[in-house]
Structure 1
Amino acid sequence: MKGLGVSQGIGIGKAFIIQKKALDVEMIKVNDTDSEVKRFKNSLEVCRLEIEEIYMKTLKNMGEKEAQIFRAHEMILEDEAFISEVEMKINNEHVNAEYALNEIANSYIKMFESIKDEYLRERSEDIKDIMSRILRILLGINVTDYDKMDENSIVIAKDLTPSDTALLDKSKVSAMITETGGKTSHAAIMARIMGIPTVVGIEGILEKVKDSDIVVCDGKSGKVMINPCEKQAKYYMKKKQIEMKINKELRKQVGLPTITKDGYKIELLSNIGSPKDVELALKNDTEGIGLFRSEFIFMNRNCKPSEEEQFQEYKEVLECMGDKPVIIRTLDIGGDKEVPYLKIPKEMNPFLGYRAIRLCLGDTEIFRTQLKAILRASVFGNAKIMFPMISTMKELKDAKRILEEEKKELKKMGIAFKENIQIGIMIEIPSAAIISDLLAREVDFFSIGTNDLIQYTMAVDRMNSKLSHLYSQYHPALLRLISSIIKNAHEAGKWVGMCGEAAGDPKLIPVFLGMGLDEFSMNSPSILNSRYIIRGLNKKDMEQIAENTLKLENAIEVENYLSDLFSDDEKENHLNCNDKKEY
């Protein structure tokens, strides 16, 4: 079977199947609503104690960043609006606690699942996780006994909640496979941090595998094999040994400069969402922060963060990074990203609506507060400011004007800030790419956001599975736009970075190097591999590769061309055995 690989690596071992008992909830009419409310509140207290235990275990085994997931679960348990809604349903409709909880929880889950933003949509998992835990307590259903797990187990389940993942004994888990899930789910994120190979989205695997079957899981390709033949097993054992040697070799990249064989220096930076992500970035020897997504400071709360709160967040990251650059993207939120206190109106097409810089220029109070916080923090490190979703010259000039006004205000107040702080913009809209020669005169740098640039260039909703074949970072239209952006910036004497997913693609790194991209910003675990790739290339040779790539007609041609040149994956066609099926 083929699924979506969300955490790289090879896992080989016996299947350990997690069959969760269905939480069947019936509506039962009750007379004593006070007893049902009390039962509901008792279940919240029991749940709170369980979550605290999981939090402490996660804190000990994985760290503060991962443990914070369960602080979010605790916040749900303490949410007065949620608790009140369940109690009202019990009292007004005279129904049992399980039914009332299930109905209210499903309304919340549906709301989150309707959000287009993948990261936010996956947060419905948190609600499902905590609600199923409370329901299990109310229904008296026991949890899976993980103590029965053997060494080198392949965990197989319909889905894995964050708490499921946290309770696993990492030393016994060789890989994880689920029928559902996505790349940005908490379970997937935790799997990557724990270093457990994971494949999601393999529908029906629970029907095809049984306990103690031998399973192979390739977390890179997304391929899963059940009861492989001897030849296949030997191949994957060898592949796993090679992988371990590669990872050991990659650690030798720590401390080395990111420089091509012919002496061309490149900067490799990390994308982060909060100060808690800095530890992983530094562990992977990042050369700076190429994208600090400041919107996460504004989310999962009931009111706007104050200037002081924001200042402390930016200051913490800058102090941790020392003299390394930290590019702080101003608020990139709106439309599909639900932040109730901002009262953003519902839109037919939020991706083309009132969001990012448009929202900030419309609500200058929130924008000015953020700019002041960034400027105040700038004296604690090497801060740079980046404006998202710029589509016109006027937007850029308006944003710069407001920034200058806040600088003057801080001067009047006698507050120190970095006066020559660099200003950049995200190039993620075709209009900005087309006028990048003009925009380059007004900024110090560009950062290309490939995720949205693909979406807007191809007119494709990146969350629409029926159109996934059109959403490709190998499309010649995208690559030609990127080439022209880099050329226009360089002609104006400005440097260019990239912070979209394509920046960490091993097949595209040589192409972007040949185009002259100055800085690559990516998820931290990709940095050492990217450095290894770049240190083995000649920029001059890559210029010809880039030129050849831009002549190709479609995404498939581009990907095949680059795969033939740069992919080191071994071909697996010879592995098929007549007596065994490959799933």
Structure 2
Amino acid sequence: MEVIKGKSVFGGIVIGKIAFYKKSNEKIKRYKVDKPEEEVTRFDNAKQTALLQLDELYKKALTEVGEANAAIVQVHQMMIEDLDYLDSIKNIILTQGVNAEYAVGVTGDNFSQMFSTMEDEYMKERAADVLDISNRIVRVLNKEEDGRFKLTEPVIIAADDLAPSETIQLDKNMVLSFITRQGSTNSHTAILARTMNIPAVIGIGEELKQEYDGKYAIIDGFTGTIYIEPEENVLKEMEVKKKQDEEKKILLQKLRGQENITIDGKKINIYANIGNSTDIGAVLKNDAGGIGLFRSEFLYLEKDTFPTEDEQFAIYKYVAESMAGKKVIIRTLDIGADKQVGYFDLPLEENPALGYRAIRICLTVKDIFKTQLRALYRASAYGNIAIMFPMITSLEEVKEIKEIIQEVKAELAETGIDFKDNLELGIMIETPAAVMISDLLAKEVDFFSIGTNDLTQYTLAIDRQNPKLDKFYNPHHPAILRMIQLTADNAHKNGKWIGICGELAGDLSLTETFLKMGIDELSVSPGLVLGLRNKVRESDVSKILKNW
């Protein structure tokens, strides 16, 4: 038996056979062509076929991992249409008089190298994406299959790394687990594994050997441990752990309809985070008390141009009606940083996390902001909608937002359109600046929701997208916990409620800490709702010691 370790991405026990993901490694040959113009045409046709393949992949992703994660495929579609990328390929074909496969391969390598040397971590991640789309086009040119890894039995997929498109293409019913040599816990593939509820261990390094292909293994997704050809006693121990995990999931279903109340009588709201209306089924299935974060930017990410007021209204209305009076908190457009939308034509920035993003865009390009606000207020007549604004750093920003809202309400009233006048308005607490003036901000809004991902990033001065910084990224840092406590105290002093909608909301090791702090609401992925409810019901706040 051999034991190797990596980083846990999603918990669970898996027992099965390892299958190494096989990629096409055939070397691209360079040869001269008599008619370069015809080779350009051949490339254009291959590009269109690749786009059709990606469109099919996008539809598959919608049904399996939801609209928010399917947006990853759309990044590939946009990159294939990038003019610099296309011009480079055609220029190589025409000036060198060579075959399209070679031109695509060289361009892919050149662009990948360019991205990988950039300082910005978001742009670094595009290095793998440009290789992925280039390989896809080359396969089309060579009349190969679309690159889908064929599986005939359920297996543990092992790989150096997996591109998002490769992950989505896999037959979910045939994948027991992912294990990879490389990868960050914040990578697209890690996010997809969590969304697909597939146990995964990443960052194993060279200890994950090719010779393990076909060998029997156990994956402990809770601890990030992999047992190769396990001994009998380990197998029995893991089978018991697997059975206990499965029984726990069944027991959690019995918590549907139960209150989120501690042993000593403290209640808390447990809501769900969603990326689009297609996630509503999961929210209802897991009995969430409402929606604590609707990431409205995904309505923009999935479009080729700005979504209209009517398009947005229809989606907000559907979600509000489907939730049947339960609260639906919709965050206004939060793009920029690692969420880029091509048609916004945002400039490249050396440090986009500190740049032109979220509310800063909305308060600069006010027509876009007002269109969204009109749609939200129109939809408010059909349910219990609240609006939340991201990346707030000053009192002036909140006051300007409220002035724009008054303009929007006046326009709607003048045209006789129904809306609720007294919607709850809240802000995201994501910056140290917002924490330090939370006593002042609380006087201007109805609630706070803490975005712990960005709050941790900005407080610790750590790029959360950078895998090299994983060991320094500590969301349990006392500074973060003290900031949450300070914000909660200031909210309650002013009679306002406070929630948490970042990743920490689903961290069960902090649930009791949040209860002790007086947090009023926790919003998590739909699949985590019942587990969080169970943790709350097992807790006794009167016995929890303050330790931050």
Q: What is the TM-score with the length of structure 2 in the denominator?
A: 0.89
One-letter amino acid of the counterpart of residue 361, structure 1:
L
Deviations 1:332-367 (A, max 9, x none): 223554334334344443322332222222222222
The CA deviation at 1:317 is: 2.1
Which residue matches 1:400?
402
Question: Within 5 Å, which residues of 2 pair with 1:425-444?
Answer: 425-444=427-446
Of 330-339 and 263-272, the range deviating more from structure 2: 330-339
Deviations 1:175-225 (A, max 9, x none): 221223444555444444443322222222552543332211122322222
SS for the counterpart of 1:256 is: coil
Of 123-132 and 407-416, the range deviating more from structure 2: 123-132
| Aligned residues of 1:7 and 1:199 also touching (Cα < 8 A) | yes
| Aligned residues of 2:92 and 2:103 also touching (Cα < 8 A) | yes
The CA deviation at 1:292 is: 1.4
| Aligned residues of 2:272 and 2:283 also touching (Cα < 8 A) | yes
Residue 529 (structure 2) pairs with residue 527 (structure 1): yes
Deviations 1:362-415 (A, max 9, x none): 222222222112111111221111111111111111111111121111111111
> Residue 283 and residue 351 in structure 1: after superposition, are their counterparts in 2 closer, same or farther (change >3 A)?
same
Residue 365 (structure 2) pairs with residue 363 (structure 1): yes
Counterpart pick for 2:175 among 164, 173, 176: 173
One-letter amino acid of the counterpart of residue 329, structure 2:
I
| Aligned residues of 2:387 and 2:423 also touching (Cα < 8 A) | yes
Which residue matches 2:27?
24
Unmatched runs of 5 consecutive residues or more in structure 2: none
Which residue matches 2:464?
462
> Residue 518 and residue 59 in structure 1: after superposition, are their counterparts in 2 closer, same or farther (change >3 A)?
closer
Which residue matches 2:205?
203
| Aligned residues of 2:121 and 2:466 also touching (Cα < 8 A) | no
Which residue matches 1:564?
none
| Aligned residues of 1:260 and 1:535 also touching (Cα < 8 A) | yes
| Aligned residues of 2:391 and 2:430 also touching (Cα < 8 A) | yes
Paired with 1:448 and 1:67, the residues of 2 have a C-alpha distance of 22
One-letter amino acid of the counterpart of residue 272, structure 1:
I
> Residue 40 and residue 274 in structure 1: after superposition, are their counterparts in 2 closer, same or farther (change >3 A)?
same
Of 156-165 and 445-454, the range deviating more from structure 2: 156-165
Paired with 1:184 and 1:465, the residues of 2 have a C-alpha distance of 8
The CA deviation at 1:172 is: 4.1
> Residue 408 and residue 108 in structure 1: after superposition, are their counterparts in 2 closer, same or farther (change >3 A)?
farther
Of 242-251 and 223-232, the range deviating more from structure 2: 223-232
SS for the counterpart of 1:473 is: coil
Residue 138 (structure 2) pairs with residue 135 (structure 1): yes
Which residue matches 1:422?
424
Paired with 2:71 and 2:428, the residues of 1 have a C-alpha distance of 29
The CA deviation at 1:301 is: 4.3
Of 332-341 and 393-402, the range deviating more from structure 2: 332-341
Question: Within 5 Å, which residues of 2 pair with 1:155-194?
Answer: 155-183=157-185, 185=187, 187-194=189-196
| Aligned residues of 2:450 and 2:499 also touching (Cα < 8 A) | yes
Paired with 1:162 and 1:44, the residues of 2 have a C-alpha distance of 19
The CA deviation at 1:20 is: 2.0
Question: Within 5 Å, which residues of 2 pair with 1:80-479?
Answer: 81=83, 86-106=89-109, 116=120, 127-139=130-142, 149-151=152-154, 153-183=155-185, 185=187, 187-207=189-209, 209-299=211-301, 301-335=303-337, 337-479=339-481
Counterpart pick for 1:2 among 5, 8, 17: 5
SS for the counterpart of 1:426 is: strand
SS for the counterpart of 1:414 is: coil
SS for the counterpart of 1:298 is: helix
Paired with 2:393 and 2:140, the residues of 1 have a C-alpha distance of 52
SS for the counterpart of 2:212 is: coil
SS for the counterpart of 2:340 is: coil
> Residue 363 and residue 107 in structure 1: after superposition, are their counterparts in 2 closer, same or farther (change >3 A)?
farther
Paired with 2:472 and 2:151, the residues of 1 have a C-alpha distance of 45
Which residue matches 1:560?
none
SS for the counterpart of 2:409 is: helix
> Residue 148 and residue 536 in structure 1: after superposition, are their counterparts in 2 closer, same or farther (change >3 A)?
closer
> Residue 201 and residue 78 in structure 1: after superposition, are their counterparts in 2 closer, same or farther (change >3 A)?
closer
> Residue 347 and residue 54 in structure 1: after superposition, are their counterparts in 2 closer, same or farther (change >3 A)?
closer
> Residue 4 and residue 93 in structure 1: after superposition, are their counterparts in 2 closer, same or farther (change >3 A)?
same
Paired with 1:66 and 1:439, the residues of 2 have a C-alpha distance of 30
Paired with 1:375 and 1:176, the residues of 2 have a C-alpha distance of 43
The CA deviation at 1:228 is: 2.1
Deviations 1:398-440 (A, max 9, x none): 1111111211111111111111100011111112111211111
Identity of aligned residues (%): 43
| Aligned residues of 2:148 and 2:169 also touching (Cα < 8 A) | no
Paired with 1:345 and 1:177, the residues of 2 have a C-alpha distance of 36
One-letter amino acid of the counterpart of residue 392, structure 2:
I
Deviations 1:88-129 (A, max 9, x none): 5423442211122234445665677658576x8767666544
Paired with 1:461 and 1:163, the residues of 2 have a C-alpha distance of 24
Paired with 1:473 and 1:67, the residues of 2 have a C-alpha distance of 24
| Aligned residues of 1:260 and 1:534 also touching (Cα < 8 A) | yes
Of 250-259 and 467-476, the range deviating more from structure 2: 467-476
Paired with 1:341 and 1:263, the residues of 2 have a C-alpha distance of 51
Paired with 2:158 and 2:539, the residues of 1 have a C-alpha distance of 40
Which residue matches 1:556?
none
SS for the counterpart of 2:399 is: helix
| Aligned residues of 1:56 and 1:67 also touching (Cα < 8 A) | no
SS for the counterpart of 2:209 is: helix
The CA deviation at 1:227 is: 1.9
One-letter amino acid of the counterpart of residue 250, structure 2:
K
> Residue 189 and residue 93 in structure 1: after superposition, are their counterparts in 2 closer, same or farther (change >3 A)?
same
Paired with 2:342 and 2:58, the residues of 1 have a C-alpha distance of 28
Of 180-189 and 465-474, the range deviating more from structure 2: 180-189
Paired with 2:535 and 2:415, the residues of 1 have a C-alpha distance of 49
| Aligned residues of 1:44 and 1:77 also touching (Cα < 8 A) | no
One-letter amino acid of the counterpart of residue 264, structure 2:
D
SS for the counterpart of 1:431 is: helix
> Residue 80 and residue 358 in structure 1: after superposition, are their counterparts in 2 closer, same or farther (change >3 A)?
closer
| Aligned residues of 2:386 and 2:425 also touching (Cα < 8 A) | yes
The CA deviation at 1:130 is: 3.8
Which residue matches 1:33?
36
Instruction: Count residues with an aligned counterpart.
Output: 543
Residue 46 (structure 2) pairs with residue 43 (structure 1): yes
Of 409-418 and 467-476, the range deviating more from structure 2: 467-476
| Aligned residues of 1:506 and 1:533 also touching (Cα < 8 A) | yes
